[in-house]
Amino acid sequence: MKVKRIVPNIATDDPAKAAAFYETIFGLDIIMDHGWLRTYSSGESMTVQLGVASEGGSGTLVPDLSIEVDDLDEVLERVHTANVPIDYGPVEEPWGVRRFFVRDPFGKIVNVLQHL
């Protein structure tokens, strides 16, 4: 048996609120829309991973999601344009990533990172 996919599900009364954040900032596409559930994808093939942590590193809170990108500066520009407050960073961490934290429209902490 192999795990083929892990999908985090975020509870909300209004799934459409995700569009301004996940589509605009991260360029994700809706691949399934049932009205009560929207699923987003980049179209990239990804490794199945599940993180379990006692802290978020460097004394931060544990993020709800981590999104690795290939151009952190572009995402930072989109975050600034959308007036989304940054909770932490951007910072280069000793374990080889540059990252920052933002909150999505549902209050979830999103760790946005790029490997150095």
Q: Residues 46-79: pLDDT tens digits?
A: 999 999 999 999 999 999 999 999 999 999 999 9
Task: Count Cβ atoms below 10 Å from residue 38 Cβ, excluding itself.
Answer: 20
Nearest-angstrom CA–CA distance, 116 and 113: 9
User: Which CATH architecture is the domain 15-115 placed in?
Assistant: Roll (3.10)
Calculate the average pLDDT of the chain.
96
Whole-model pTM: value is 0.94
83 falls in which pLDDT band (50, 70, 90)? very high
Spatial contact of 110 and 22, defined as CB atoms under 8 Å apart? no
